[in-house]
A and B are shown apart, each in its own frame.
Chain A
Amino acid sequence: MFAEYWDAFVTHSSTIGTIVSILGFIITIFYIVKIKKVAIIARKASEATLRKLSYIDVVKELSATIEIAEEIKTLIVLKAWHLLPDRLSYFRRRIIIIRHIDDWVIKSHGIDLQSIIGYTAIAEKSLSKFITSGETEPKKIEKLTNRIIDQSTLLQNIQGRV
């Protein structure tokens, strides 16, 4: 009696083993897919959080930089030419920092920020030349004032779009 059962078990054991292996494999694949989906969701959530944090950083930096632009406008009105190159340099460096906060900043506002960097670098160079020249007032001062106002407005627009 036992020998018959044993023979039957031996005959079917490889089939049962194969089925159990396939079932185990399917269950493993199912859990791997499930874990992968959970990992993707977690990664997306983490990226979204980081992006939100970078938006906050950009808005914070933009606000501080707009304040520097306002300070530069005041210095122009006060004709404090000797203080301007340093403030313009600081302003430009802040814009460079904003550019490097995240890739989306360059993708979305790269040209506008580069334009501000370009104008500021030119203004710094021109003012430094003027200071060493010994003249009393830089030429085309209205243009410089207008450019700073344009840059400040551009930063406010970027801040509005962020």
Chain B
Amino acid sequence: MSDKIEELVEKLLANTNDGKTKWEEAGLEKGFLTSLSKFSILLGVTQNKIGDNIIELSILNSEGKTIEEYRGQQLTLSSLWNAARRAAFGVEVAIDALIEELE
């Protein structure tokens, strides 16, 4: 992973964990999308031949064109995928509601 992509992933992860970056399901694709004012970031997942998850990060420009794609299995990328999934599905809110109901 290039240094800049790594920095981007780390910042996205930190912002997602802080609730500053909102993710939503990307529609037809199995993935999550977040948008800033001029770019969108799409996170997707595929599996390799032995069944390991490969995370795909795509950067879409202001016209919706994919200008950069990165695939990897790094820990930060997997953490970002999980954080995005949890944010998109509102997992934290669901767990809090469950705990509250069970108390």
Contacts and interface: CB of A to CB of B under 8 A. Distances in A.
Given A96-B62, A119-B33, A121-B64, A143 B27 contact: yes
B91 interface: no
Interface string A38-49: 000000000000
Interface in B80-99: none
A130 B28 CA distance: 10
B27 A144 contact: yes
A126 B28 contact: yes
A110 B39 CA distance: 10
A24 B36 CA distance: 57
B27 A122 contact: yes
Given A96-B63, A120-B64, A121-B60, A114 B38 contact: yes
B8 interface: no
Interface in B11-44: 24-29, 31, 33, 35-40, 42
A106 interface: yes
A22 to B, nearest CB: 54
Given A115-B35, A117-B60, A118-B33, A140 B28 contact: yes
B28 A114 contact: no
A143 B36 CA distance: 22
Given A126-B29, A127-B28, A143-B27, A118 B60 contact: yes
A79 interface: no
Contact of B36 (A114, A120, A125): A114
A10 interface: no
B64 A117 contact: yes
Contacts of B62: 96, 99, 114, 117
Interface in B45-76: 60, 62-66
A49 to B, nearest CB: 26
A111 B35 contact: yes
A123 interface: yes
Contacts of B38: 106, 110, 114
Nearest to B63: A96
12 contacts: A96-B62, A110-B38, A114-B37, A115-B40, A117-B35, A117-B60, A118-B40, A123-B27, A124-B64, A126-B29, A140-B27, A143-B28
